[in-house]
Amino acid sequence: MLLELARWLQGLESFFGLFNYLTFRGILAALTALLLSLWWGPPLIRKLAQYKGGQPIRQDGPQTHFSKAGTPTMGGALILIAVLAAVLLWGDLRNKYVWVVLAVMLAFGAIGWYDDWIKIVRRDPNGLKSRWKYLLQSLFGLAAGLYLYYTADVPASTTFYIPLFKAIALPMVGITFVALAYFWIVGFSNAVNLTDGLDGLAIMPTVLVACALGVFAYASGHAQFAEYLQIPRIPGAGELVIICAAIAGAGLGFLWFNTYPAMVFMGDIGALALGAVLGTIAVIVRQELVLVIMGGIFVIETLSVMIQVASFKLTGRRVFRMAPIHHHFELKGWPEPRVIVRFWIISVILVLVGLATLKVR
């Protein structure tokens, strides 16, 4: 929105040429989202508290979690609103990737909102039935995959790349590409949701991964950088820097209220949407496997649930004291802040490893 105005004003004053730089607009998007989330946070939390529902607490979980009963949830709406506002202000609204990512964010956010609404307003701790949630996620994930496939501008947009091995490039046709996009979008949507079980645990890795994906998006959209780093050149992908920066800013603003002890929880509205956005951006910039590395915390949390369920069904025994795995460490006696910060440290390391693949080819 403001980019179009700046382009018009550039003819009158060269200063407005600054807005053509992705890095400058990315900084503005991050600051805008941060300030909006800090500004809107307190009134939103007060409004959510009026419902007096709060996030349902697992009765079989750690005893320390019972003190969280009544804490407002659906705080992820704060993130989504701040991101949307920042991107509409500073993004290039003629860019197709901006719109597809925003559409995914709002679609998965709507699923999460309805799930949270059932939990809070209807007082149903189970929320939206799993089959309906998965069906809606599948429809939106497949729609995004189909759109990206049929609007691909260059062969690189539908080619699968292996990190570290520049010679391995596997062209994908129709169903293969759509299936992969679907798996990453829906998979990471649920993975972030599973991770969101402790105060601030999910949002910081999300911010870190978003920042790193912004680096990949910038390089992929820049012809010289893409050639030098030997990564896929995806025209227009650079504009995703604005979305990644907005997520980082809004996420940090939300963390102000979500840090231990949390004043508000993200809820499914935020977790499902943010995970889907990370998956979509990774698909666009062709860094699906790098996302698995950088988002390793989300992957580990998801695998712990899968292993726990499979083990119990096959042997009747549990591998972990409780899944997802962050609860396992709580039940071992780790204080919640220790679990959170150590998972953050692991996330920082994994993101740095992922960024290292930019140069190691």
User: Counting beta carbons within 10 angstroms of the beta carbon of residue 252, is it exposed (0 to 12), middle (13 to 18) or buried (19 or more)?
Assistant: middle
Q: Which long-range contacts (CB under 8 A, 24 or more apart) does 19-22 make?
A: 22/218, 22/221, 22/238, 22/239, 22/241, 22/242
Q: Output the CA–CA distances (angstroms, integers) from residue 200 to 36, 207, 341, in the order listed.
A: 19, 11, 9
Whether residue 324 has a cis bond before it, omega within 30° of 0: yes
> Which pLDDT does position 50 carry in this prediction?
83
d(CA 269, CA 116): 7
Feature table: binding site for Mg(2+): 193, 268
The domains of the chain are located at 1-53+73-295
For residue 126, give the amino acid letter. N
Give 128's contacts (C-beta < 8 A, 6+ positions apart).
111, 114, 115, 118
CA-based R_g, the chain, Å: 20
Token look-up 């939390």 returns 45
Which contiguous run of DSSP H or E holds residue 160? Answer: strand 159-162
Residue whose tokens read 């998006």: 217
Each of the 361 residues of the chain gets a pLDDT tens digit; together they read 776 766 666 667 666 677 788 999 999 999 999 999 999 999 999 998 887 656 666 555 665 655 566 789 999 999 999 999 999 999 999 999 999 999 999 999 999 999 999 988 777 778 899 999 999 999 999 999 999 999 999 999 999 999 887 768 888 988 999 999 999 999 999 999 999 999 999 999 999 999 999 999 999 999 999 999 999 999 999 999 999 999 999 999 999 999 999 999 999 999 999 999 999 999 999 999 999 999 999 999 999 999 999 999 999 899 999 999 999 999 999 999 999 999 999 999 999 999 999 987 6
What angle do helix axes 336-356 and 203-221 make, rounded to 10 degrees? Answer: 10
Predicted pLDDT of residue 120? 84
User: Do residues 192 and 180 lie in contact, with contact meaning Cβ atoms separated by under 8 Å?
Assistant: no
H/E run at residue 159? strand 159-162
Known binding residues are 193, 268
Angle between helices 267-284 and 96-121 (to 10 degrees): 160
